[in-house]
Structure 1
Amino acid sequence: MPRPSRFSPDDAAAALRDLPLWSGGVEGIERTLQLPTFRAAVEAVSAIADVAELLDHHPDMDLRWTSVRVAVVTHSAGGLTELDLELARRVDTLFPG
């Protein structure tokens, strides 16, 4: 499978305009989910893990009581790629904000 191409700063800025719940840039993007309970936050981690497995692209996740920070970057490309955007879009579908 070919390695995805890293986005330019302009490409990253354009992509983030379509992902208003996310922040970051060419080095990667992140979003923090706020859930009503600890159990809901744990279930969010599990739901995101299921999507990550389907895409074979795995985010860093940090669970803190009722919040989950999700950070994505394509390490093999050294920055933001289309894989990261696809995972972010799927997270937004699960958790529209």
Structure 2
Amino acid sequence: MPRPPRLSPDSVTAALADLPLWSGNGDGIRRSVQLPSFRDAVAAIGAIADVAEEMDHHPDVDLRYRTLHLSLVSHSAGGVSELDLELARRIDALLP
């Protein structure tokens, strides 16, 4: 299945207006979230992993105690694609 193309910087900026918890540019988007406990953060990673596997598109995840740092980029596109934006929307639906 072909991957979607890299979005223009203007398209990424416009999309981030609808994803206020995310920041970034055409090279990647990021979000950090603090969960109530370490176990909650680990459970959130499991829920994100389920969505990522379903989409066959995987975020970079960094867990620091109860804070998750998430990064999205479509390496095959050389930057942000529609897949990253869709994964960001789905992650937002899972997290506070």
Q: Please give the TM-score of this superposition, normalised by the length of structure 2.
A: 0.97
Q: How is 1:61-76 mapped onto 2 (pairs within 5 angstroms)?
A: 61-76=61-76
CA deviation after TM superposition for structure 1 residue 86, in Å: 0.5
CA deviation after TM superposition for structure 1 residue 3, in Å: 2.4
Number of aligned residues: 96
Other-structure match for 2:23:
23
Other-structure match for 2:84:
84
Q: Distance in 1 between matches of 2:2 and 2:50?
A: 23
Other-structure match for 1:8:
8
% same residue = 64
Moved over 2 A (4+): none
Unaligned runs of 5+ in 2: none
Unaligned runs of 5+ in 1: none
Q: Please give the TM-score of this superposition, normalised by the length of structure 1.
A: 0.96
Cα-to-partner distance string for 1:60-93 (whole Å, 9 max, x where unaligned): 0000001001110000000000000000000000
Give the superposed CA RMSD: 0.7
